Each structure stands twice: as C-alpha cells, then as structure tokens.
Amino acid sequence: MLDFIWYAAAFAVTLGILVAFHEFGHFWVARRCGVKVLTYSVGFGRAIWSRTAKDGTLYQVGIIPLGGYVRMLDERVDEVKPEDKAVSFNAQSVYKRFAIVAAGPIANFILAVAVLWLMFGIGVPTVKPVIGDVAAGSIAEQADLQRGQEIVRVGNVEAYDWQQVQLGLMSAIGNERVDLVVSSADGQQRLKTLDIDDWQFDPETESTFGSLGISVYQPAVYTELAQVMEQSPAAEAGLQAGDTIIRADGIAIDSWQQLTDIIASSPGKVLNLLIQRNSEEQQISVTVGEREQGSDVIGYLGIVPKTEPMPEDYVFNHQYGIVGGLMKGAEQTWSLMVVSVQMIGKLLTGDVSVKNLAGPLSIAEGAGVSAGNGFVYFLSFLALLSVNLGIINLLPLPVLDGGHLAFFVVEWARGKPISEKVQDICYRIGAALVFALMVLAISNDIVRYAF
C-alpha cells in the first residue's frame, strides 16, 4: 500500500512538471504573439485550485493529472467581439500559429536540457561500464569481448556508464550489427563488431547488454560472512560474521550465487549448514525466513557476504561545471531525442514489439523507483520522459501538436487553410489512433502487473 501511494505521488509530481512546462511553452509564445489566453490548466476535470488574473486569464489545476491545456480566444469556437478579433488565435499568421503550437514540444526539450544540466551540476555517482563475465556461446563471446574490458562507445553513443550502454544498444535494435569500442587493461582501444541479426531481447526480463551475454563487473564475492543482521533467521540460528559456509543440505557451496539460489528457493524450510568457524567445522540448522518479492515468496537468512572492494578507478562522480554541464545536458537531450525517434520508427517497422509500450502504471513505477533511488536519478527519469513527451507530441496526428503543425505546413504551401470538413475527419481519425495506442499501452500494463 505504501509503495502504491509513493508511486502515485511520484507519478502526479512528474506528470505535473512535464505538463506545466509543455503548456507554458504554448502560453508564453501565444502571449508574445498577441493572442488572448483564456485558460491555462494543468490537469483535466474539476479544478482543485484556480485563480483569475487581472488580464482575465484563468489559471487552474485539474483533478485528473493526465494532461493539460491552454485555451486561447478563437473565432471558430468562441463568440468574439469585433475589437477582440485581432487577439484571437485563428486571426494570426500561419507563422505565428506554427510557433505557438511548436512551443509546447520545444518547452519539453528545453526542460530536459535544464534538468540534465542540474543533474550533471550536482554530479551522478557512476560505475564505469566494465565487462564482468561473458556468457558462453553468447553474441558477446562470438565478438571476443572479454572480462575486464571497458565499453567506451556503442555505435555513436559515448558509453560513460551502463545507462549509456543501454541507450546505445537500444538504438541498434533491428540492425544487423553494432560496433563497440572497448578499452583493455593495457589502455589500448579496440573495435568489436557484434552480429545482432538474430538478437532476441525481452525488456521485461533482461537488460540489453545482459541479453547479449554481457554481465556487469562485480568484485569477487566469497562465501564467508561479513555481517549477520540482527534478529534475522541467521542470527537466531547462531551464525556469526567470519563464518564460511561450506555445505547446505549436503550440497558443496562453490559460490555465493549458488548459496543465495538455495536460500531463495527454500522459504520456511530448515537448512542444515556446514560452516567453518575459527578453522573448525561445525553443523548449524537454520529455518529460512520468508518475504514477498512481487507475486512470489522467497527465502532469506539476513546475511551479507565478504567481498573484494570495487577498484577505485571504476567508480566516479560524473560532474561538470556550469558551462560543461549545460553542454552535456544539451548533448544528452539530443541523444535521447535521436533514440526516441529511432524507437518509434522501429515500432512502426516491427523491429520493436508494441508490447514494449508503457502505460501510466509503468510510468508511475518508474517515477517512484527513480525518486526512491535519489534526486539525481529522478532528474534523469524526468528528462527522459520530457523528451519522449516532446517527440510524441510532434507526431503528425491531428489531435497532437504535430498534426496541427502539419496542417499549417499544408496551409503555407497552398496559400489557404485546409477545409474545416477535412480537418474534422482527420481529427476523428487521429483521435481514434491515439485512443487505440492508449488502450494498447494500458493493456500492456495490465498484463505486466496482473499476470
């Protein structure tokens, strides 16, 4: 229940910020073009807050945080006094109307730059994309990728962390191959070409690099215990820090992963452990605890393994000054825009399944998780959504900003606007397509979280 409240609150805040900036873009340019703005609304439905300014504009927050609007004086829908015709939207030149409509998506791109500028100014704790184990028979092994190599570039994307690696690989989905530049311990950079013509990737269950057989580098993990949590099943059974687990129910333990798999699959069961303590072996029986993980119940003991420290040069704070942060924010925004357009193209060509479309539940979870991980991670998620909102609104569907812009381009080319009848037909078709996409995205959410 607490997770639901957290996700809902993060979703409302995230969408509120994105919508407020998008609509402010329309609002600000409309005012600069001399158009009278009647209403500036963040959210739909009944207003939970409103105020009418001296200039007559109604500012409000709607109860449904799934969008917003800027209502401008328009002779096509309003009764306009003769003295107000000059300040109505439809009376403006095609160039001004184009600028007003385009300002919404542009505001989202500007927001993304500003948010990433702030993020890079604060600094992002980052782990370098150093390759861990490479799965036998995988695409990565066939390309001769090796443990300890650092991924420097994926295609045209600079890979300073694993998120950038993911971004570069996402843009390569549907291609026959993708080039990786890797750096070895000797400092030499090498070009590796991955054959991804038969690449199978399920974003619901794995990462892009994981599906290629690449794992994230992790320091060595031992079966010796570094910590036993207080009041845990392990503490109640008498396990102590410094104990080394040798066997579990007669099975020789060769790795920490093997032990965690046994524990996770044994909720509520009694495990007979053979441990080594102070050079002596002894038997300890422990009742495995139970906890929920999604729809499953898994076992836990409350133990932490001894690990090698992460090499200092593998971890860094990705931070820039004022000018550098602004440039990096703009560069990252452009990369996100390019990948977003590519992904839309791949959805249309079938290279990416429509099952990957995310609905409000997925967005709410992403907002909640990123906010829970820390402010800089929330900023990164906010920038990604802002770019996506801007790109989607530029699609040439009549109910979206891009559809209006397409009408303006045709009007400019032919010297007169498209007839109201044709526009009405286009709006109906566009509304049906957008509604179908929304139903598909929500259906994906239902399948994702209910089954």
445 within some domain: yes
370 within some domain: no
Instruction: Kindly state whether residues 15 and 93 are assigned to the same domain.
Output: yes
Instruction: Kindly state whether residues 199 and 232 are assigned to the same domain.
Output: no
- The CA–CA distances, whole Å, from 301 to 136, 194, 304 equal 31, 41, 9
Instruction: Kindly state whether residues 281 and 313 are assigned to the same domain.
Output: no
Instruction: Kindly state whether residues 313 and 303 are assigned to the same domain.
Output: no
Q: 165-196 burial string, b = 16+ CB within 10 Å, else e?
A: bbbbbbbbbbeeebebbbbeeeeeeeebebeb
Counted domains in the chain: 3
d(CA 192, CA 131): 13
Pick the last residue of a domain from 307, 331, 361: 307
Choose among 16, 23, 86, 30: nearest CA to 401. 23
User: Which tens digits make up the pLDDT trace of 131-142?
Assistant: 888 888 889 899
d(CA 451, CA 449): 6
Exposure of 27 by Cβ count < 10 A (0-12 exposed, 13-18 middle, 19+ buried)?
buried
* pLDDT beneath 70, residues of the chain: 1-4, 203-205, 294-295, 352-367, 369, 444-445, 447-451
Contact 61, 41 (CB under 8 A): yes
Active site residue 292: no
- The CA–CA distances, whole Å, from 163 to 14, 16, 18 equal 20, 25, 22
Range of the domain at 298: 221-307
E-assigned strand segments in 176-295: 177-183, 189-195, 214-216, 221-228, 244-248, 251-252, 270-277, 280-287, 289-293
User: Which tens digits make up the pLDDT trace of 193-215?
Assistant: 989 888 877 766 677 888 888 88
Instruction: Kindly state whether residues 181 and 314 are assigned to the same domain.
Output: yes
Largest Cα separation within the chain, whole Å, is: 98
Instruction: Kindly state whether residues 140 and 253 are assigned to the same domain.
Output: no
393 within some domain: yes
Q: What is the pTM of this model?
A: 0.79
H-helix segments, 251-349: 256-264, 322-349
Q: Which helix (H) or strand (E) holds 49?
A: strand 37-52
C-alpha neighbours within 13 Å on the C-beta side of residue 315 = 7
d(CA 340, CA 170): 10
Cβ contacts of 335 within 8 Å, gap of 6 or more = 157, 167
Instruction: Kindly state whether residues 160 and 284 are assigned to the same domain.
Output: no
Contact 68, 49 (CB under 8 A): no
61 within some domain: yes
Pick the last residue of a domain from 281, 307, 333: 307
DSSP codes joined into one string, 101-138:
HHHHHHHHHHHHHHHHHHHHHH-EEEE--BEEEE-TTS
H-helix segments, 136-225: 139-142, 162-171, 208-211
Q: What is the pLDDT of residue 103?
A: 96
Instruction: Kindly state whether residues 190 and 313 are assigned to the same domain.
Output: yes
Sign of the dihedral through C-alpha 161, 162, 163, 169: positive
Q: Which of 23, 83, 206, 281 is catalytic?
A: 23
Q: What is the pLDDT of residue 2?
A: 64
Q: What is the CATH number of the domain that holds 275?
A: 2.30.42.10
Q: What is the pLDDT of residue 417?
A: 85
Instruction: Kindly state whether residues 314 and 186 are assigned to the same domain.
Output: yes
Phi-psi region of 187 (alpha: psi -120 to 50; beta: other; left: phi over 0): left
